[in-house]
């Protein structure tokens, strides 16, 4: 009897423990659920983060609290049209007082900042941050490939399906960090690899291991791939029609070279057709690879935009393609291309120096000025991908160069281009502008007090586009300037600027004009 009572009590105790355990697990799961359902609750209880300001001990302003993100708004005195106010009678008195205090703080920031701060910079210049304002017409995201939005010109279901596959392949080619470049006379390996944002140290290390890379010849081709860490993983160097060199990254960071002596045959071909859908899809249907399509689009970038080509536009291409037996190897050289668009002919013909010119031997590239200003400014912070934040100690890459300027200094376009975005970030870049130059180049301007251009506007070199300022999160008035090649930031002060050649010397020009006449005959449409 006693034993049965003890067993009954034990069963009750175990049942009670199971209930307690169940309730504990339920409470834990409920807490986790609440945490994820209301992720901003804890953040809402925290005081606003303060902006890091670099000050000297002797500076009286060092005793003042740093500017908060809510205070880093554009000065309404410099751009009244871009600071909308509340309608009369809207909001409470507290809201009005807050708005007034914020505006006053912004004015004070502009007025009390020195005319030129030699150390002015910012640690929040990443454009991936959410924009607070975006001008209508700004391009939020570039198309994966020029002209790929022209699917309305593809009525047949089978053709549409093919285009989708080709688009996916083309996007994958871009996403996988693949690049190609034809050597122009005077270019070095660092100039080639810089097209993908690689630092000069990478080419220097390669040349030290493989000295033959120090001397490049016009017309040679490079094709390379970056890994997920933006390191050079693979490089193919087409030395000549009969020789190809491959460089592959090893586990220890070194590179292994493979030399291929080729038994292939190169054939000169003329390919003619019409645009059906996008430019890249139209080229793909004629057997051109992504590398060759990129070469064609780059050659034409200063004359006609690929995404403006329409169904029925005609093209003719003169190229040399490599065959092994009766099969294409994928290697090719584009000698010339002729596009007939809107009743007008556009030519890009390669000269002996590797560059492309029009039929008259005139350079196609748009020249770039080194500085987007009327004078050479003082640099307050240099381009530095490995820069660290002075407070957090974390890597905070500086993807551009900072120029110390007085608020209101005119900013000019360094080259012809198109305004693709005008926007504002209170907690980052401030008011900023993005310009696109041709197909491969972009320039970015941050912390402006006022934009003088609109999205979609075509601008010329030397034209005023903005006034410098101190908007967003910055330590002082300055211009943050970025130069992008293939959507990758490079050092604006050392990059080899495109399109600055003066043309062909007299002797080369004569030979080129002879070639040009023959090309026009071969590519007649």
Tokens encoding 253: 């960071």
Mean predicted lDDT score pLDDT of the chain: 76
Residue 327 confidence (pLDDT): 85
The winner for highest mean pLDDT among 161-165, 179-183, 403-407 is 403-407
Identify the band that residue 88 occupies on the pLDDT scale cut at 50, 70 and 90: very low
**Is the CB of residue 388 less than 8 Å from the CB of residue 396?**
yes
CA distance 475 to 119: 8
**C-alpha angle 402-405-406 in degrees, rounded to nearest 5:** 150
Tokens encoding 24: 């504990």
Radius of gyration of the chain (CA): 30
Residue 3 confidence (pLDDT): 47
For the beta carbon of residue 350, count every other beta carbon within 10 angstroms.
25
Say what the alpha-carbon torsion angle 179, 182, 185, 187 is, to the nearest 10 degrees. Answer: 10
Instruction: Tell which CATH classification among 1.10.760.10, 3.10.450.350, 2.40.280.10, 3.40.430.10 matches the domain 177-261.
Output: 3.10.450.350
Residue 506 confidence (pLDDT): 83
Identify the band that residue 17 occupies on the pLDDT scale cut at 50, 70 and 90: low
**Is the CB of residue 305 less than 8 Å from the CB of residue 339?**
no
Checking if the pLDDT of 118 tops 90, the result is no
Quote the pTM value: 0.60
CA distance 204 to 404: 32
**H-run or E-run covering 225:** strand 221-226
**C-alpha angle 220-223-227 in degrees, rounded to nearest 5:** 155
Average pLDDT for 15-27: 68
CA distance 275 to 286: 11
Tokens encoding 174: 């871009």
> Which of the pair, 372 or 43, is modelled with greater confidence?
372
DSSP state, residue 471: -
Helix (H, G, I), strand (E, B) or coil at 205: helix
Residue 11 confidence (pLDDT): 64
pLDDT digit string, tens, across residues 402-429:
999 999 999 999 999 999 999 999 988 9
Identify the band that residue 167 occupies on the pLDDT scale cut at 50, 70 and 90: low
Q: Where are the chain's structural domains? A: 2-38, 133-142+368-490, 177-261, 265-365+503-522
Average pLDDT for 310-327: 89
Tokens encoding 76: 């309404």
Average pLDDT for 464-473: 93
Residue 306 confidence (pLDDT): 78
Average pLDDT for 336-347: 91
265-365+503-522 and 133-142+368-490 share a CATH fold: no
Helix (H, G, I), strand (E, B) or coil at 423: strand
Residue 206 confidence (pLDDT): 96
Identify the band that residue 5 occupies on the pLDDT scale cut at 50, 70 and 90: very low
For the beta carbon of residue 196, count every other beta carbon within 10 angstroms.
21
pLDDT digit string, tens, across residues 216-251:
998 899 999 998 888 999 999 999 888 999 999 999
Identify the band that residue 39 occupies on the pLDDT scale cut at 50, 70 and 90: very low
Closest Cα to residue 207, out of 189, 230, 191, 224? 189
CA distance 176 to 170: 10
The phi-psi region of residue 46 (left if phi > 0; otherwise alpha if psi is between -120 and 50; otherwise beta) is beta
Task: Give how far Cα 484 sits from Cα of 124, 197, 443, Å.
Answer: 18, 8, 6
CA distance 190 to 168: 31
> Which of the pair, 39 or 123, is modelled with greater confidence?
123
Helix (H, G, I), strand (E, B) or coil at 259: strand
Residues 6+ apart with CB under 8 A from 130: 425
Closest Cα to residue 309, out of 346, 284, 342, 270? 342
Query: Which range among 48-57, 120-129, 141-150, 409-418 shows the weakest confidence by mean pLDDT?
Result: 48-57
3-state secondary structure 90-117: CCCHHHHHHHHHHHHHHHHHHHHCCCCC
Residue 304 confidence (pLDDT): 79
Query: 265-365+503-522 in CATH: which number?
Result: 3.10.450.350
Checking if the pLDDT of 96 tops 60, the result is no
Residue 32 confidence (pLDDT): 57
Checking if the pLDDT of 177 tops 90, the result is no
Residue 400 confidence (pLDDT): 93
Q: What is 133-142+368-490's CATH topology?
A: Glucose Permease (Domain IIA) (2.70.70)
Residue 4 confidence (pLDDT): 55
Query: Which range among 3-17, 194-208, 292-306, 326-340 shows the weakest confidence by mean pLDDT?
Result: 3-17
């Amino acid at each position: 009897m006693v034993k049965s009572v003890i067993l009954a009590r034990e069963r009750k105790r175990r049942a009670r423990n199971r209930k307690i355990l169940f309730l504990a697990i339920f409470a834990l799961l409920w807490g986790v659920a609440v945490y994820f359902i209301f992720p901003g609750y804890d953040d809402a209880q925290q005081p606003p983060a303060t902006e890091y300001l670099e000050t000297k001990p002797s500076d009286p302003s060092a005793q003042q609290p740093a500017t908060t993100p809510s205070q880093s708004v554009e000065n309404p005195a410099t751009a009244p049209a871009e600071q909308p106010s509340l309608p009369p009678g809207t909001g409470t008195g507290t809201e009005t007082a807050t708005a007034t205090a914020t505006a006053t703080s912004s004015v004070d920031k502009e007025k009390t900042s020195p005319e030129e701060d030699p150390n002015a910079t910012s640690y929040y210049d990443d454009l991936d941050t959410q924009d607070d304002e975006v001008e209508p017409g700004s391009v939020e995201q570039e198309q994966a490939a020029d002209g790929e939005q022209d699917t309305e010109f593809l009525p047949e279901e089978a053709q549409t399906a093919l285009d989708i596959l080709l688009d996916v392949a083309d996007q994958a080619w871009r996403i996988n960090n693949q690049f190609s470049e034809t050597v122009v006379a005077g270019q070095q390996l660092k100039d080639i690899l810089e097209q993908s944002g690689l630092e000069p140290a990478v080419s220097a290390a390669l040349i030290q291991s493989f000295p033959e890379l120090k001397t490049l010849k016009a017309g040679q081709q490079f094709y390379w791939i970056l890994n997920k860490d933006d390191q050079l993983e693979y490089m193919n160097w087409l030395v000549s029609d009969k020789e190809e060199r491959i460089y592959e990254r090893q586990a220890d960071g070194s590179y292994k070279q493979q030399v291929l002596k080729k038994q292939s045959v190169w054939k000169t071909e003329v390919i003619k057709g019409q645009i059906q859908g996008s430019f890249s899809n139209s080229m793909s249907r004629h057997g051109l690879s992504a590398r060759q399509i990129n070469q064609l689009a780059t050659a034409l970038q200063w004359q006609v935009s690929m995404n403006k080509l329409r169904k029925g536009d005609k093209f003719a291409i003169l190229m040399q393609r490599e065959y092994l037996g009766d099969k294409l190897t994928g290697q090719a050289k584009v000698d010339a291309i002729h596009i007939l668009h809107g009743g007008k002919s556009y030519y890009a013909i390669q000269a002996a120096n590797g560059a492309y010119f029009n039929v008259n031997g005139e350079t196609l590239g748009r020249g770039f000025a080194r500085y987007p200003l009327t004078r050479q400014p003082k640099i307050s912070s240099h381009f530095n991908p490995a820069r660290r934040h002075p407070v957090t100690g974390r890597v905070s890459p500086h993807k551009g160069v900072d120029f110390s300027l007085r608020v209101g200094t005119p900013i000019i376009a360094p080259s012809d281009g198109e305004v693709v975005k005008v926007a504002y970030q209170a907690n980052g870049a401030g008011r900023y502008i993005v310009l696109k130059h041709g197909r491969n180049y972009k320039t970015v301007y941050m912390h402006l007090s006022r934009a003088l251009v609109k999205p979609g506007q075509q601008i010329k070199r030397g034209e005023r586009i903005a006034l410098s300022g101190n908007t967003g999160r910055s330590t002082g008035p300055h211009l943050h300037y970025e130069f992008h090649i293939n959507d990758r930031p490079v050092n604006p002060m050392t990059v080899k600027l495109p399109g600055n050649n003066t043309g062909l010397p007299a002797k080369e020009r004569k030979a080129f004009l002879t070639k040009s006449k023959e090309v026009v005959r071969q590519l007649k449409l």
